[in-house]
Amino acid sequence: MTTATETVLAGLDDLRADLEDLYRHLHAHPELSHAEHETADLVADRLSDLGFEVHTGIGGTGVVGLLRNGEGPAVLLRADMDALPVREETGLEHASRVTVSIDGTETPVMHACGHDVHVTSLVGAATLLAGARQAWRGTLVAIFQPAEEAGDGARTMVDDGLAELVGPVDVALAQHVLAFPSGQVRTRSGAVLSAADSLRITVHGRGAHGSMPQAAVDPVVLAAMIVIHLQTVVSREIAPTVPAVLTVGSIRAGSKSNVIGDHAVLEVNVRTYDEQTRATVLAAIRRIVIAECQAAGSEKDPEFEPYDEFPPTVNDPDVTERVVSAFADTFGDDAGELDLQSASEDFSDLPTALAIPYTYWGIGGIDPEQYRTAEAAGRVSQDIPTNHSPHFAPVIQPTLDTGVRALVAAAMAWLARD
């Protein structure tokens, strides 16, 4: 007996070539955060042709498509659209050669995180569901979100009235292509992606001649002491069983070897998986920085500037259980458990604002044979490009098929008539 999900997926063979062409086009024409104009226009036209009620310009460049198919649950599927300021080095025929001017500097742009896979997969899932309405009932909410890489794309859509636009929704679902074998789909219950918090911290000293340190409060030494002391936060204030990362990624101070400057700027990044740990680490950073400034005799309080804040992604257990069952039926042994990820993204801002449960999963994008060879040699980290690498290039198939099938299978866990 053919299931409702199989009925929807029956059209994938006829759609495959079109989706592959769409993917190559998107990959060759990437757009940075909040500038996804061509991508937004393209998906809006596709949704309109499929009979969706289409809303554009949500949160700047976001697109929302609503396909109402009788009484039933409302399921939200989300894809992010933006690319990164990275020069592509994949050597592909459809490699990006796009550059944009940023502050007068020509900057290369690349889909180094795989958002072109996400857009193509959601277009494919929307197309198949629109073409097999006899197999499901309810409302499909397709969201093409801008500016995930900036960490504020979901919030801008929410602030622009997303909740009023889409109405009541029952569940939100999203996926990401990752550096494991293509053809596989993996998810997990509970924490899956970390929260991310970046801080720009300015500490103040007193400038002087390099030969007269007694007349100075040296901000370089102050910054160095802060860096050393911050290394004890995770190792001494967080339980060994609780994952957390604290990185000082940048220090800027001084202008010349014989000049003691008057300030230093540190940029700190924190990754945590729950709000208690997040609050503990951020509070410890402030406490340590303030104390070191006081100990050094700094004459001005330090300044803390938060930026690039991403929420944690914590999968709802009940929603995840239902999706895991759907994946088992659709993918068999190619469905598995996703490892806890230290990366971050802003998808969860959407279901949080809509007050609905959600789950988020990964699909593989690496050629299986290439991955097996690297794994056998113990060189996965060295030989397999990860997201944000200039060499990251998911194999087109079976990656796209997997992305489309995963979205359809997950959505049909709520929408299927059977």
Rg of the chain's alpha carbons, rounded to an integer?
Answer: 24
Looking at residue 1, what is its pLDDT? Answer: 66
Residue 90 contacts by C-beta under 8 Å, 6 or more apart in sequence? 390, 391, 392, 393
Question: Is 292 annotated as a binding-site member?
Answer: no
Q: Nearest-CA neighbor of 107 among 98, 115, 96?
A: 98
Q: Is 303 helix (H, G, I), strand (E, B) or coil?
A: strand
Whether 111 has a binding-site annotation, put simply, is no
* 25 known member of a binding site: no
Contacts of 178 (CB under 8 A, 6+ apart): 114, 341, 362, 363, 364, 365, 387
Residue type, position 411, single letter: A
Query: What is the rounded distance in angstroms from the CA atom of residue 120 to the CA atom of residue 400?
Result: 7
176 is in an annotated binding site: yes
Residue type, 380: V
What integer pLDDT is reported at residue 269 of this predicted model? Answer: 97
Question: What is the residue-level pLDDT of the chain in tens, covering all 418 positions?
Answer: 689 999 999 999 999 999 999 999 999 999 999 999 999 999 999 999 999 999 999 999 999 999 999 999 999 999 999 999 999 999 999 999 999 999 899 999 999 999 999 999 999 999 999 999 999 999 999 999 999 999 999 999 999 999 999 999 999 999 999 999 999 999 999 999 999 999 999 999 999 999 999 999 999 999 999 999 999 999 999 999 999 999 999 999 999 999 999 999 999 999 999 989 999 999 999 999 999 999 999 999 999 999 999 999 999 999 999 999 999 999 999 999 999 999 999 999 999 999 999 999 999 999 999 999 999 999 999 999 999 999 999 999 999 999 999 999 999 999 999 7
